[in-house]
Amino acid sequence: MLKNKTYLFLLFLFIAILYLITPKECTKKQFWSSIDDLGYSLIKSCYTKYNIKKSIKEKLSKNQFIYNVAAKIKMTFLKTLQKKEI
State the pLDDT at residue 10. 93
State the pLDDT at residue 62. 86
State the pLDDT at residue 53. 86
Contact 75, 82 (CB under 8 A): yes
Contact 20, 58 (CB under 8 A): no
State the pLDDT at residue 80. 64
The CA distance from 30 to 28, in Å, is 5
Residue pLDDT tens, the chain, 86 long? 788 899 999 999 999 888 888 888 888 777 777 777 777 777 788 888 898 888 988 888 888 898 888 888 878 877 765 555 54
pTM of the model: 0.65
Rounded CA Rg of the chain: 16
- 3-class secondary structure, 75: helix
The CA distance from 26 to 42, in Å, is 9
Domain boundaries, the chain: 2-82
